[in-house]
Structure 1
Amino acid sequence: MFSEFEVIPAVDVQDGQVVQLVGGERGTERTYGDPTVAAERWVDAGASTLHLVDLDGAFEGNRQNADAIESIVSSVGVDVQLGGGIRTAEDAIELLDRGIDRVILGTAAVENPDIVATISNEHPETVMVSLDAKAGEVVVSGWTEGTGLDPATAAARFEALGAGAILFTDVDVEGRLEGIRAGPVEQIVDSVDIPVVASGGVASIDDVRALKKAGVAAVVVGTALYEGAFTLENAMNAVRE
């Protein structure tokens, strides 16, 4: 799935615009313009994968920004992983059949774990289970509802069901540009043998290096890139050193 460590730009879409939320809270968003323009910008800068999230879909429970997502997929020639509002196996399989490389399941996987096996049986290694954690607890429905689940235990369970990768988001530091917390990420990495992708809190190239050292296969970066804390090219060069 990931042949080498990747820095993956995030293109989070809300009301048809690229946004970044602070701590996953609606009303905290910063807006960064047209999603397709942003996606093409990151591909031109060297991205080999894009991380797309339909934020309205994550909050509302069904996909809300399909047109914007489809525009991105049709305009870029790199791998695309998509999450937000994918609630059924049928939806996921349709997206995969239409060219999405990986589907990201959070709420759907937690509420119905067998969905992971159903999709994986038809499209092996295409399901990335999103485990988003607040205060050490997996949260769902756009990070608004607690589940009582421990992220590391949940990661191992989804690996057994056929997940191709785990996306771990540390919601407590998401969008704050205050740095990562390596400890929670390392716990996830130690709990599974499949690739782990980290998200949340990246503020510097040192954070990217620290996540690579923690053993993740890739890191998703949003606010830091949009706010110019560092460039995608510099981040990629740094982890190749």
Structure 2
Amino acid sequence: MKIYPAIDIIGRECVRLVKGDYSQKTTYSQNPVEVAKKWEEAGGEFLHIVDLDGAKSGDMPNFELIRTIVSELNIPVEVGGGIRSMECVDKYLNAGIARVILGTSALKNPDFVKLAVEKYEDKIAVGIDAKNGMVAISGWEDVSNTPAVEFAKLMESIGVRYIIYTDIATDGMLNGPNIEAMAEMLENVNVNIIASGGVTTLNDVKKLAALGVEGAIIGKALYTGNIDLKEAILKGRC
């Protein structure tokens, strides 16, 4: 299992939210580039970046910052947040991003996802953020009437190979991931599942690895020191 250290960006700063709530923001660094370098030096194999400003606005306000991060690293980077057009997809991938994550756009316009997958194949991932099993959109501010598992099946049917599944209730809470929800997703679709939300201890990493997810995104637990990235990487390989 691959470990994805996470960098969430608001106002060009490295932040973490609680359950996706923008009013519950903690700033951990004013220099996301240095944070990215830190995670690479600690052994990070793949960096996960979310432009939280973009997730709300639907555009790419932190594009130049993210491009700088990519240029400074030797490991691949995936990016999500506000990617709602082929123009945005093209711009990120042409800038050296290894994989882009479609979220709100995937739910509202599956045909767009299909076109992106046809053009870029496994460089396209879909982020499914769920609250009580239902897909949340627009930076987690709204909850749809679409069950997460059913949406995942639709994405699989149009060729998506990577799904990043986030349980909002656990995100940023340091209470552990929703193992049952991850297991349910794995049982229902045959794609690479990257687990996100609530990873707090090395035991959580071990549990997710045992489930068979492709990767686990770790955010707040790295910033608080609950988890050491090097140790998490080793645990994920066990």
Matched, 1:27 2:23: yes
8 Å contact from structure 1 (residues 93, 119) kept in 2: no
| Aligned twin of 1:211 | 208
CA contact under 8 A between 1:8 and 1:219: conserved in structure 2? yes
The one-letter code sitting in structure 1 at the alignment partner of 2:7 is: V
Percent of aligned pairs with the same amino acid: 36
Asked if structure 1 preserves the Cα contact closer than 8 Å seen for 2:2 and 2:237, the reply is: no
How many residues align? The count is: 237
Runs of 4+ displaced beyond 2 Å: none
Give the Cα separation in 1 of the matches to 2:236 and 2:138: 33
Q: How is 1:184-203 mapped onto 2 (pairs within 5 angstroms)?
A: 184-203=181-200
* CA–CA separation in structure 2 for the residues paired with 1:19 and 1:141: 18
Offset at 1:240?
A: 2.6
- Match of 1:120? 117
| Structure 1 gaps, min length 5 | none
Q: TM-score, normalised by structure 2?
A: 0.97
Which residue number corresponds to residue 63 of structure 2? 66
Give the partner amino acid of 2:80.
G
| Counterpart position of 2:169 | 172
Match of 2:53 in 1: 56
Q: How far apart, in 2, do the equivalents of 1:52 and 1:227 lie? A: 18
Deviation at 1:200, TM superposition (A): 0.3
What is the one-letter code of the residue matched to 1:69?
I
- TM, length-normalised to structure 1: 0.96
1:112-151 residue pairs with structure 2 within 5 A?
112-151=109-148
Instruction: Please provide the CA RMSD for this pair.
Output: 0.9
Deviations 1:60-104 (A, max 9, x none): 111111121111011001111000011102211221122111110
Structure 2 unmatched ranges of 5 or more: none
Q: Distance in 2 between matches of 1:97 and 1:91?
A: 10
Output the CA distance in 2 between the equivalents of 1:31 and 1:174: 16
Counterparts of 2:123 and 2:169, CA distance in 1: 27
Q: Do residues 36 (structure 1) and 29 (structure 2) align?
A: no
Aligned to 1:99, which of 96, 99, 107?
Answer: 96
